[in-house]
Amino acid sequence: MIEYRTPAEIEEMRPAGRFVAEVLEALRDRADVGVNLLELDALAHEMITARGAESCYIDYHPSFGASPFGKVLCTSVNDAVLHGLPHDYVLADGDLLSVDFAASVDGWVADSATSVVVGTPREADLALITTTEEALAAGIEAAQPGAKVGDISFAIARVATKAGYKINTDFGGHGVGRTMHGDPHIPNDGRRGRGLPLKPGLVIAIEPWFLESTDKIYTDPDGWTLRSRDGSRGAHSEHTIAITPDGPLVLTARS
Q: Which residues 6+ apart lie within 8 Å of 61 measured at CB? A: 67, 68, 69
What are the CA-CA distances from residue 203 to residues 140, 141, 184, 199 (Å)? 12, 14, 10, 10
Domain span holding position 101: 7-250
Q: Report pLDDT digits (tens) over 59-90.
A: 999 888 889 999 999 999 999 999 999 999 99
| Residue 108, domain member (yes or no) | yes
- Residue 21, domain CATH: 3.90.230.10
Number of domains into which the chain is organized = 1
Binding residues: 83, 100, 111, 174, 181, 207, 238
Q: List binding-site positions for substrate.
A: 83, 181
Query: Which amino acid type is present at position 56?
Result: C
Cα 243 to Cα 9, 121, 206, 237, 247, distances in angstroms:
12, 36, 12, 19, 6
Q: Which residues contact 177 (CB under 8 A, 6 or more apart)?
A: 3, 5, 108, 109, 203
Instruction: Write out the binding residues for a divalent metal cation.
Output: 100, 111, 174, 207, 238
Asked if residue 166 is part of any domain, the answer here is yes
In a domain, residue 1? The reply is no
Q: Is residue 120 part of a domain?
A: yes
Task: Write down the pTM of the prediction.
Answer: 0.97
In a domain, 122, yes or no: yes
Domain membership flag for residue 174: yes
54-66 pLDDT per residue, tens: 999 999 998 888 8
3-state SS, residue 132: helix
What residue type is assigned to position 166 of the chain? K
Over residues 164-181, the mean pLDDT reads 97
